[in-house]
């Protein structure tokens, strides 16, 4: 197991980033690679007669070190959900009703001890780190349930013959009890805190304070970068502040890795990524996608005060977006059309002047080419990535 | 559980390695999976793989069903149903005869023929992705033909899977009962699915609140219920899976998350299904190879010929017909589903099964090749003169009668850019000839302008009518590289204004002699930057901004003289 762990660590440092960079341009390869990586570890653990659960965990651990993790997590989540349903239902199926209830008194007592004990220990630990009582309270009350891993471990123990089915039933009953109770505790955690505030205030002291985690607020969210939106980044930074780019083009992630812009590699369709980018708190949302679905989400989820700017492929779509609440809808071909119209007018009225303009224009193109723009990468990768339109 | 780990590990590790190796070439994944399967066949125990393959079928057909929108059928189908039907009957009929002559039983020959006549949308859509996105006419045709064929495939699966029950029925009752009963059940299941789609699904979504996970699990639960139902009444699980997909509409707020969830599930099971399929093939003997070759010939040669003839008869030009046919020359994944259901039900022999799998792996790869060289293949054929009779472009309105074309501007393509360009030329009192190969846009062009040529801009016959040597300018609004090179090779003094989507290409074309090369995104970005700055600085209320911009859009569209974007009366003064 140690060897697998070491391999996992080394791979995460040297092999995986390279592998995923190769695959990131193609959605299918990217996904299959992630799954294959997990199976590599699971299979190796099985062949070596080790726990496949730990093997899978180590595979996940090494994947977590890659910059494409959040996108991979979102892509794999449906599969996880599917198998989680199968796993937990199968645990349920293995336990007869009498086995579930065989140790019910013990389960109730253990649940009570666990919930109170867990809360007290967590509260003590967080409080000890000098967080405010509110943080300590909320942090602890959110953790008063049994972990799903206790069921994984329980199932493993049954299959290895260490314990009998009734013990698994006892664990399951605890999980059912604590998980259902904690749902309500978490849902009403702020209310409970307000009601019981006097108790927790006793732990307060002047040197207690919360460490502020970086949270985007009143920032700009840019969905996908292309040649139309890229030049406006400095203006956004200047006038709005933080700029978060959500893009599923791996080149964007690489290009802006050390810049003043934050990049989230992944597909805007995943709600977790939208949360990570703080879409709901953004002051400006700028989308360079022409996919109606993406833009509709951006418009719907953005704050009412936010300015939403999206792209559209056709005038019909543009009018629909305005109807839905976009503040500005750009149609690149219309903008281009205006420019070309001006050029052609010149061509017909003043041919020499036209060629002069063209020379200027080609110079600008060359400058853009040398500065390395999106339209210069020779193609394949970007095309692959932006294809769903 | 543990007996599944090794096979799945082989499936995914093998696929990942091969996909990574060929990621530069752009091969579609499906044939690669089959190749992986062929290679790792002996590591996968056969009984287990059949179970896996059935799961794969269920999920693949399910995802296809989700993406089918019955409401859209008529707008998408249009011409395609003829082409799809022609393929089915002509190619299918011919291959059925060949199979029968080669000694196959009628039911086996039917499977054989189905494999030849249906094309793979998983492969075809991946190949033609760029064409579809750029809304090129052959891309659109490819997409819709695949769609219609997939629907046919579901029907065929329904019928052929019913035939499974003939032997049983023959002992207990009439043969007709044996077929009719499952068929009736199948139709009933589809009916139930439609009822759920219309009346129940929205309610289920509202129950699941905003939870992505619950919506996905609801969908999976629907799938499992329909699978159980079809198993219970004795219909193919493919029909149940399709019905389950049909029960799910895509038309609700959280559908994006469902779509991306289904995408993951589809990718996962696509790999499992096709690798398993490949793994079921042993080392082929002579008979298998001979039959596979017969099947391959009918797919690679007969099918494209039929497609081309039918499309030309429908009024498309030869190039469009050829390019479309080159993305249809492979075996459909539905034929593979049929083959495996047939094998499981004992309707076809292991031998025929191997023939179909082999032919599909090979044709899916050759299809990639014909697609990549489609233009060259077309041209090679065009040089032999086979298309001469059909390729005469229609010259409409006046070219023949008016004075010979001189000092005119040739505009290629009548999309947003093309219509704007045409308007400017006419404002400057220059004669314009529009070349367009998309029938819809051609009609639009004719509504607004006199001189239009319907035909492909890369065919000599079209150019003979355009008198390029006397033209003042040739303006191409298409960014196809092949077309740009073709235009540069024309001998003419006309100024060439081309379009490119990428800057290096634009600079290259300019250096090769183009007077100007437009890069739409580059030009648009300059305009866009100004607008954004104005927006960010504006003190106005967001709602006021919105109204202002909406008004501006209308102005811009009419300034750029883009037709076909607003109702005709809005642009009345353009005429």
3-class secondary structure per residue, B301-322: HHHHHHHHHHHHHCCCCHHHHH
CB of A155 closer than 8 Å to CB of A168: yes
DSSP string, A289-355: ---HHHHHHHHHHS-TTSEEEEE-SSHHHHHHHHHHT-SEEE-HHHHHHHHHHHHHHHHHH-HHHHH
- Would you place residue B133 in the very low, low, confident or very high pLDDT band (cuts 50, 70, 90)? low
B545–A332 C-beta distance less than 8 A: no
User: What pLDDT, in 10s, does the model give residues B398-421?
Assistant: 344 455 777 888 888 887 788 888
Give every CB contact of residue A198 below 8 A, 6+ residues apart in sequence.
none
Distances (CA, A) of B45 to A40, A132, A342, B10, B280: 19, 60, 69, 12, 9
Using DSSP, state whether B254 is helix, strand or coil. coil
Q: Of A225-234, B20-29, B536-545, which range is least confident?
A: B536-545
Chain B CB contacts of A331 below 8 Å:
553
Using DSSP, state whether B193 is helix, strand or coil. helix
Fold exhibited by the domain A220-331: Rossmann fold (3.40.50)
- Would you place residue B332 in the very low, low, confident or very high pLDDT band (cuts 50, 70, 90)? confident
Chain A CB contacts of B266 below 8 Å:
none
Q: Parallel, antiparallel, or unpaired: how do β-strands B432-436 and A328-330 relate?
A: unpaired
CB of A234 closer than 8 Å to CB of A207: no
Using DSSP, state whether B399 is helix, strand or coil. coil
Q: In this prediction, what percent of chain B has a pLDDT beyond 90?
A: 2
Q: What are phi and psi for residue A379, nearest 5 degrees?
A: 120, -70
> Which residues 115-144 in chain A show a CB within 8 A of chain B?
none
> Which residues 296-325 in chain A show a CB within 8 A of chain B?
297, 300, 305, 307, 309, 314-316, 318-319, 322, 325
Chain B CB contacts of A385 below 8 Å:
none
If one compares A262 and B548, the residue with the highest pLDDT of the two is A262
Distances (CA, A) of B43 to B36, B51, B54, B55, B285: 11, 16, 19, 19, 21
| Chain A nearest CA to B419, separation (Å) | 9
Q: What are phi and psi for residue A272, nearest 5 degrees?
A: -65, -40
Which of A364, A375, A386 to mutate to probe the B interface, most B CBs <10 Å? A375
B516–A380 C-beta distance less than 8 A: no
A40–B13 C-beta distance less than 8 A: yes
* Token pair of B533 as six digits: 């700055």
> Is a pLDDT exceeding 80 seen at residue B72?
no
The HSE-up count of residue A171 (CA atoms within 13 Å, CB side) is 23
Closest CA to B193 of B251, B247, B154, B238: B247
Chain B CB contacts of A240 below 8 Å:
536
CB of A375 closer than 8 Å to CB of B499: no
Chain A CB contacts of B408 below 8 Å:
none
Residue-range domains of chain B with CATH: 2-383 (1.20.1530.20), 396-574 (3.40.50.720)
DSSP B36: H
If one compares A377 and B159, the residue with the highest pLDDT of the two is B159
pLDDT at residue A307 in the model = 85
What is the average pLDDT across B526-542? 72
- Would you place residue A117 in the very low, low, confident or very high pLDDT band (cuts 50, 70, 90)? very high
Sheet bearing B495-499, strands edge to edge: B394-395, B452-454, B432-436, B409-412, B473-476, B495-499, B516-518
ipTM over cut 0.90: no
Give every CB contact of residue B180 below 8 A, 6+ residues apart in sequence.
B162
DSSP A15: I
Give every CB contact of residue A151 below 8 A, 6+ residues apart in sequence.
A88, A91, A168, A171, A172, A175
List the beta bridge partners of residue B436.
B454
Sheet bearing A243-247, strands edge to edge: A262-265, A243-247, A220-223, A284-287, A307-311, A328-330
Burial class of residue A355 in the structure, from the number of CB atoms within 10 Å of its CB (0-12 exposed, 13-18 middle, 19+ buried): middle
Place of tokens 């069903």: B65
A327–B545 C-beta distance less than 8 A: yes
The HSE-up count of residue A108 (CA atoms within 13 Å, CB side) is 4
User: What pLDDT, in 10s, does the model give residues A328-365?
Assistant: 888 877 778 878 888 888 888 888 888 888 888 888 88
Q: Parallel, antiparallel, or unpaired: how do β-strands B409-412 and B473-476 relate?
A: parallel
Q: Parallel, antiparallel, or unpaired: how do β-strands A220-223 and A262-265 relate?
A: unpaired
Answer whether A358 touches B (CB < 8 Å): yes
| Chain A nearest CA to B238, separation (Å) | 20
CA–CA distance, A199 with A205 (Å, rounded to integer): 14
CB of B454 closer than 8 Å to CB of B394: yes
């Amino acid at each position: 197991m140690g060897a697998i762990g070491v391999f996992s660590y080394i791979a995460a440092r040297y092999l995986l980033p390279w592998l995923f960079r190769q695959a990131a341009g193609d959605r299918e390869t990217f996904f299959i690679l992630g799954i294959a990586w997990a199976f590599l570890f699971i299979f190796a653990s099985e062949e070596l007669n080790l726990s496949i659960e730990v093997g899978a965990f180590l595979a996940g651990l090494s994947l977590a070190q890659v910059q494409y993790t959040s996108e991979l997590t979102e892509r794999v989540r449906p599969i996880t959900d599917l198998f989680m349903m199968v796993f937990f239902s199968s645990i349920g199926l293995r336990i007869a009703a009498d086995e579930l209830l065989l140790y019910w008194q013990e389960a109730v007592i253990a649940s009570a001890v666990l919930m109170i004990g867990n809360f007290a220990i967590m509260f003590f630990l967080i409080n000890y780190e000098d967080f405010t009582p509110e943080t300590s309270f909320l942090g602890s009350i959110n953790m008063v349930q049994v972990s799903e891993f206790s069921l994984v471990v329980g199932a493993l123990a049954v299959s290895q013959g260490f314990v009998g089915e009734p013990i698994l039933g006892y664990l399951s009953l605890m999980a059912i009890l604590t998980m259902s109770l904690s749902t309500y505790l978490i849902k009403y955690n702020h209310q409970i805190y307000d009601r019981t505030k006097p108790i927790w205030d006793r732990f307060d002291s002047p040197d207690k304070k919360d460490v502020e985690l970086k949270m985007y607020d009143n920032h700009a969210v840019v969905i996908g970068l292309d040649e139309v939106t890229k030049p406006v980044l400095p203006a956004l930074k200047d006038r709005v502040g933080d700029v978060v780019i959500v893009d599923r083009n791996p080149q964007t992630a690489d290009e802006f890795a050390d810049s003043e812009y934050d990049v989230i590699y992944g597909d805007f369709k995943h709600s977790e990524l939208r949360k990570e980018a703080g879409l709901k708190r953004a002051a400006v949302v700028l989308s360079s996608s022409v996919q109606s679905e993406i833009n509709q989400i951006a418009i719907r989820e953005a704050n009412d005060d936010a300015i939403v700017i999206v792209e559209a492929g056709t005038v019909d779509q543009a009018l629909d977006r305005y109807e839905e609440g976009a503040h500005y809808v750009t149609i690149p071909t219309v903008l281009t059309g205006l420019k070309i119209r001006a050029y052609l007018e010149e061509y017909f009225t003043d041919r020499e002047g036209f060629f002069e303009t063209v020379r200027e224009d080609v110079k600008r193109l060359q400058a853009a080419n040398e500065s390395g723009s999106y339209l210069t990468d020779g193609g394949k990768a970007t095309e692959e990535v932006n294809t769903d339109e | 559980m543990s007996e599944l780990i090794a096979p799945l590990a082989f499936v995914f590790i093998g696929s990942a390695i091969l996909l990574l190796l060929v990621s530069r070439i752009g091969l579609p994944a499906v044939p690669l999976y089959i190749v992986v399967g062929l290679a790792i066949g002996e590591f996968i125990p056969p009984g287990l793989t059949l179970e896996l393959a059935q799961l794969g079928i269920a999920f693949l057909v399910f995802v296809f069903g989700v993406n089918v929108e019955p409401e859209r059928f008529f707008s998408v189908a249009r011409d395609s149903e003829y082409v799809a039907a022609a393929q089915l009957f002509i190619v299918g009929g011919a291959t059925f005869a060949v199979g029968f002559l080669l000694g196959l039983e009628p039911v086996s020959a039917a499977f054989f023929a189905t494999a030849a006549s249906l094309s793979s949308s998983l492969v075809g859509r991946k190949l033609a992705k760029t064409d579809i996105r750029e809304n090129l006419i052959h891309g659109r045709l490819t997409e819709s033909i695949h769609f219609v064929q997939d629907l046919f495939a579901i029907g065929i699966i329904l019928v052929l899977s019913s035939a499974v029950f003939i032997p049983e029925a023959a002992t207990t009752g009439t043969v007709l009962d044996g077929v009719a009963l499952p068929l009736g059940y199948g139709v009933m299941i589809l009916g139930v699915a439609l009822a759920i789609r219309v009346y129940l699904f929205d309610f289920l979504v509202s129950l699941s609140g905003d939870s992505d996970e619950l919506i996905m699990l609801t969908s999976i639960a629907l799938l499992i219920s329909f699978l159980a139902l079809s198993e219970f009444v004795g219909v193919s699980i493919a029909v149940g899976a399709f019905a389950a997909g049909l029960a799910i509409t895509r038309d609700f707020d959280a559908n994006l998350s469902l779509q991306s969830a289904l995408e993951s599930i589809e990718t996962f099971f696509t790999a499992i299904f096709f690798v398993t399929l490949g793994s079921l093939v042993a080392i082929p003997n002579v008979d298998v190879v001979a039959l596979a070759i017969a099947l391959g010939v009918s797919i690679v040669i007969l099918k494209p010929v039929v497609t081309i003839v039918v499309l030309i008869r429908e009024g498309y030009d030869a190039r469009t017909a050829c390019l479309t046919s080159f993305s249809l020359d492979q075996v459909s994944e539905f034929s593979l589903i049929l083959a495996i259901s047939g094998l499981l039900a004992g309707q076809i022999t292991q031998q025929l099964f191997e023939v179909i799998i082999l032919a599909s792996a090979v044709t899916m790869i050759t299809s990639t090749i014909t697609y990549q060289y489609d233009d060259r293949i077309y041209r090679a054929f065009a040089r032999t003169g086979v298309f001469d009779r059909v390729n005469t472009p229609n010259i409409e309105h006046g070219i023949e009668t008016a004075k010979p074309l001189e000092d005119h501007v040739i505009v290629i393509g009548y999309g947003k850019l093309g219509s704007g360009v045409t308007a400017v030329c006419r404002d400057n009192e220059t004669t314009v000839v529009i070349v367009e190969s998309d029938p819809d846009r051609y009609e639009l062009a004719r509504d607004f302008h006199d001189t239009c040529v319907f035909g492909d801009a890369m065919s000599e016959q079209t150019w003979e009518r355009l008198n390029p040597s006397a033209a003042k300018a040739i303006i191409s609004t298409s960014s196809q590289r092949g077309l740009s090179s073709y235009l540069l090779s024309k001998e003419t003094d006309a100024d060439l204004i081309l379009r490119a989507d990428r800057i290096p290409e634009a600079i290259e074309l300019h250096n090769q002699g183009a007077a100007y090369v437009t890069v739409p995104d580059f030009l648009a970005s300059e305009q866009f930057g100004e607008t954004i700055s104005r927006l960010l600085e504006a003190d106005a209320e967001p709602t006021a901004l919105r109204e202002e911009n909406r008004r501006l859009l209308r102005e811009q569209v009419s300034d750029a003289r883009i037709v076909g974007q607003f109702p005709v009366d809005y642009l009345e003064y353009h005429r």
